[in-house]
Copies of this chain bind each other. A is one copy, B any other.
Amino acid sequence: MSTSPDGVADAARFAAASLGAEPVFLMARAASIGSAEANRRLADFGLKVRHYSVLSLACGGTAPTQRELSQFLVLDPSQIVAIVDELEHRGAVERQTDPRDRRSKVIVPTKDGHALYGKAKEAVDGATEISMAKLSAAEQRELRRLLQLVAF
Contact = CB atoms under 8 A, between A and B. Distances in A.
B22 A31 contact: no
Interface stretch (A85-93, A104-112, A124-132): A124-132
Nearest to A150: B30
Contact of A19 (B23, B60, B139): B60
A72 interface: yes
Contact of A34 (B12, B27, B32, B149): B27
Interface string A65-78: 00010111010110
The SS class assigned to the A binding surface is helix
Given A1-B76, A3-B70, A31-B31, A15 B146 contact: no
Nearest to A34: B24
A23 B28 contact: no
A131 to B, nearest CB: 6
Contacts of A77: 2-3
Interface of A: 1-4, 7-15, 17-35, 38, 49, 53, 56-57, 59-60, 62, 64, 68, 70-72, 74, 76-77, 121, 124-125, 127-128, 131-132, 134-135, 139-140, 142-144, 146-152
22 contacts: A3-B71, A9-B71, A11-B71, A14-B62, A17-B60, A20-B148, A20-B152, A22-B124, A23-B131, A24-B31, A25-B53, A28-B49, A30-B31, A31-B31, A32-B74, A131-B150, A132-B150, A134-B150, A135-B149, A142-B142, A143-B150, A146-B146
